[in-house]
Amino acid sequence: MSTRRADVAIVGGGLTGCAAAYYLARRGRSVVVLERGFVGAQSSGVNFGNLRLQGRYLPQLPLALRAQAMWEGLEAELGDSVEFVQAGHVHVALNAAQAQEIERHAVDCRPYGLEVEILDRRETIRRWPFLGAGVLAASWSPRDAVVNSRLVCPAFARAAIALGAAIVEEIEVTAIEHASGRFTLRTDRDLVVEAGCLINAAGAWAAPLARRFGEEAPVFPAGPVQMVTEPVPAFVAPVIHAVDGSILFRQTARGNVLVAGHPRVTVDAEGRRSRVPPAKMAVNMARLAAVAPHMRAHHIIRAWTGIEGYLPDMLPALGPSGTTPGLFHAFAFSGHGLQIGPAVGAVLAELIVDGGTPTPIAPFSIGRFREPVAADRDRLRHEFYDDVLDRRPSA
């Protein structure tokens, strides 16, 4: 049995774990990341690639804007391509309530420094003439961007390794002891890791680790369905996204159109399997055809989903443990973890190295689950199929 000592041990080699490893290594800390499978093979490597600012929960905007500034320089910083394209994001309103919602949001996000332009139907159609008759208005957020998520984690991992971090794949953390201010991580291989700090970045699988330290988080897994069409002639640069998330799409440089939309489907988190019900593909295609009628004639060539962890208020658990000094939680990003990922990594490094962060993260404290969460089924119903909600743990 070999023992490895480090300043920080990280459970989970998704974007959260790899970005934290990179920013900690940049601050001179020794880091070991333990990943059960392969870096970025879960949510972090199969997602839509949307770096969306508009439509976010307002108190998350400081974190999101910090992240966007990091994304804008990330390829230069990491010395790697992540296929970053800053072509903006269009929220399309399909009814009067949604049109009001985008107008309100454009006002509300201005104090945070996010500028969003409201467009009436005429201007929306002038800019994106392929849009269907159901589009009433839109909001335009030019700083929003996309990346190829498959490339992001490996790029962070390579950069972290170059700075001295150790990233061990195909190793599962099976038990954690905590004594005399140090964490001892047992694994399913002949490696034990000892560290003064521990980051819980285990995605949809993070709740048992938190519970081990007396903290409850009612994480539930689900899969956002993604599909991609055959390549079609270029017709759209930004992401087009219905305000209620029922349909969104973007076109890649190769011409394929990536399509997604709520509700999210049931996944087998324990077995680490996720599948797309064929009926859901038909639902997404019908919605795509309503918003972009010319897409009706095109073929879907592939569909997939992934295993993402959600919390009932659709916000992550991010910040120091309330029970255990040296333990930090960063999990259940509830559909938004790619965009904020670099800033989450930097914040975790600040919490560990500086003892605090200038970025407000109080709303994401795991301590909010000390009280039972309010009934929320109606609010979540358009985002998840009923069977996902039926299987949730009670808080």
Ligand X SMILES: Cc1cc2nc3c(=O)[nH]c(=O)nc-3n(C[C@H](O)[C@H](O)[C@H](O)COP(=O)(O)OP(=O)(O)OC[C@H]3O[C@@H](n4cnc5c(N)ncnc54)[C@H](O)[C@@H]3O)c2cc1C
Burial class of residue 322 in the structure, from the number of CB atoms within 10 Å of its CB (0-12 exposed, 13-18 middle, 19+ buried): middle
- Using the minimum distance from each CB to ligand X, give the nearer residue, 238 or 335: 335
Regarding 198 and contact with ligand X (CB under 6 A), the answer is no
Which of residues 6, 8, 16, 84 is near ligand X by CB under 6 A?
16
Q: With left for phi above 0 and alpha for psi between -120 and 50, is residue 32 left, alpha or beta?
A: beta
Interaction mask 98-137, ligand X, x per CB under 6 A: ----------------------------------------
- Using the minimum distance from each CB to ligand X, give the nearer residue, 13 or 55: 13
Helices and strands (DSSP H and E) totals, the chain: 11, 20
Stretch that binds ligand X, among 14-22, 57-65, 284-292, 375-383 (CB under 6 A): 14-22
Regarding 261 and contact with ligand X (CB under 6 A), the answer is no
| SS3 call for 198 | strand
Regarding 53 and contact with ligand X (CB under 6 A), the answer is no
Which of residues 173, 227, 288, 366 is near ligand X by CB under 6 A?
173
CA distances from 230 to 66, 239, 259 (A): 35, 18, 12
Stretch that binds ligand X, among 103-111, 329-337, 371-379, 382-390 (CB under 6 A): 329-337
Nearest distance, CB of residue 198 and ligand X, angstroms: 12
Backbone angles phi, psi at 381, to 5 degrees: -60, -35
CA distances from 270 to 16, 38, 77, 224 (A): 20, 17, 36, 17
CA angle 355, 359, 364 (to 5 degrees): 90
Contact 94, 244 (CB under 8 A): yes
Stretch that binds ligand X, among 101-109, 212-220, 330-338, 347-355 (CB under 6 A): 330-338
CA distances from 218 to 160, 237, 377 (A): 31, 38, 14
Element at 347 (helix H, strand E): helix 337-353
- Using the minimum distance from each CB to ligand X, give the nearer residue, 118 or 213: 213
Q: How many residues bind ligand X (CB under 6 A)?
A: 39
Nearest distance, CB of residue 129 and ligand X, angstroms: 25
Burial class of residue 3 in the structure, from the number of CB atoms within 10 Å of its CB (0-12 exposed, 13-18 middle, 19+ buried): exposed
Regarding 338 and contact with ligand X (CB under 6 A), the answer is yes
- Using the minimum distance from each CB to ligand X, give the nearer residue, 137 or 154: 154
Nearest-angstrom CA–CA distance, 204 and 219: 7
Regarding 68 and contact with ligand X (CB under 6 A), the answer is no
Which of residues 25, 32, 202, 347 is near ligand X by CB under 6 A?
202
- Using the minimum distance from each CB to ligand X, give the nearer residue, 270 or 378: 270
Nearest distance, CB of residue 309 and ligand X, angstroms: 7
Nearest distance, CB of residue 126 and ligand X, angstroms: 27
Contact 21, 31 (CB under 8 A): yes
Positive or negative: CA dihedral 240, 122, 58, 246 = negative
Stretch that binds ligand X, among 10-18, 79-87, 100-108, 212-220 (CB under 6 A): 10-18
- Using the minimum distance from each CB to ligand X, give the nearer residue, 21 or 137: 21
| SS3 call for 369 | helix
Regarding 331 and contact with ligand X (CB under 6 A), the answer is yes
Residues in the site for ligand X, rule: CB under 6 A?
11-17, 34-37, 41-44, 46-50, 172-173, 201-205, 224, 226, 305-306, 308, 331, 333, 335-339
